[in-house]
Amino acid sequence: MSTTTVLVTFDPRGAASAIRDALPTDATVQFLEDLPEADGPDAVANADYLLCFAPTEEFARLHGDQTLQTGSAGVDHIPFDRLPDGMRVCNNAGAHAEPMAEHVLAMYLALAKRLPIEHRNLQDGEFNQFEPNRWVDGSVCGVFGFGSIGQATARLLKPLGVEVHAINRSGEADEPTAFLGTPEDLEAGLERCDGLVVPAPLTEETRGRIGRAELELMADDAFLINVGRGEIVDQGALYEHLTDNPAFQAGIDAWWTEPLSDGEFALDYPLLDLPNVLGSPHNAAQVPNINEIRLRYAAENLRKAIQSAPENVVDPEAGY
């Protein structure tokens, strides 16, 4: 009787044992980096399941009977048009939800209390002791992309008295909210939002979804937090809105041009020169042991695929 073969195509950086422990004991686990270079293409072709971050040259040997599990939640870097028909792809949604929700919470509190603006004012010698900031209790948070990160964010915000209005593709979720709708409901809810959090995946439908028209629907002193992908928000429209409305704020963790995907960090507009912008270097998920946590999470989903049925199966047409 043949055994199930799982091929890990990247350097697990100390998490090899976590991957092995999460998989069935009778599965054969191979690491591409441990194999002779000449054996790589055959190892790819012979694997039943692959754990990867991005395709490599050996992926020409992929076939439709395989399952590909990504180590990342986002799959906008996967060339679905080059994958064989029938191949099942699973993402790693949920692996980073809790630390990213904590990052959103930190940004939400900082922006509600106008900390970036008043910090810059202090640097300029302005001591605005009696300038009001916002109550967090009773505020309304819109969440565009109510998957695992959005729902984890809601669980942290609601005990503070924040009313959550959420949007996702299905209009359904396990986490209770004051409102849950589909993307068609986004514009109708923006006027009510004190803060809009964007943890949505990058797809053809979400690319540029937050643009000039959407920003203008929000209150002049509202704020936007983007932890999804930079391209979901129109960079030029955001810059112009921030300069035209100095009480409006933005918390940005996901940028448009980043070193990991593009080889450099660059901006088309000088967003970081603005006093109403709070930035972080796409590190919302970078807590201690996150590599082991996410790879164990991915391997556990592979175990489900081997033993019954996986979760987080990607719809190639939808891109998520």
pLDDT given for residue 320 in this prediction: 85
Q: Is residue 237 part of a domain?
A: yes
Cβ within 8 Å of residue 306, ≥6 positions away: 4, 23, 24, 27, 48, 49
Task: Mark whether 134 and 71 lie in a shared domain.
Answer: no
Q: Are residues 123 and 91 in the same domain?
A: no
Say yes or no: 146 and 265 in one domain: yes
User: Which residues does the chain have with pLDDT short of 70?
Assistant: 1-2, 55, 57-58
Number of domains in the chain: 2
The pLDDT score that the predictor gives to residue 57 is: 65
Q: For residue 23, what pLDDT is reported?
A: 97
142 belongs to a structural domain: yes
What is the model's pTM? 0.95
Residue 315 domain-assigned (yes or no): no
Are residue 89 and residue 170 in the same domain, yes or no?
Answer: no
Which residues, at least 6 apart from 291, have a Cβ–Cβ distance to it below 8 Å?
12, 13, 14, 15
If asked whether residues 258 and 116 sit together in one domain, one would say yes
How does pLDDT run across 144-200, given as a tens digit for each residue? 999 999 999 999 999 999 999 999 999 999 999 999 999 999 999 999 999 999 999
In a domain, 79, yes or no: yes
Give me the domain span that covers residue 109. 97-279
My answer on whether 27 and 112 are in the same domain is: no
Query: Quick check: is 312 in a domain?
Result: no
Does 293 share its domain with 275?
no
188 & 171 share domain: yes
Return the CATH number at 55.
Answer: 3.40.50.720
Would you say residue 284 lies in a domain?
Answer: no
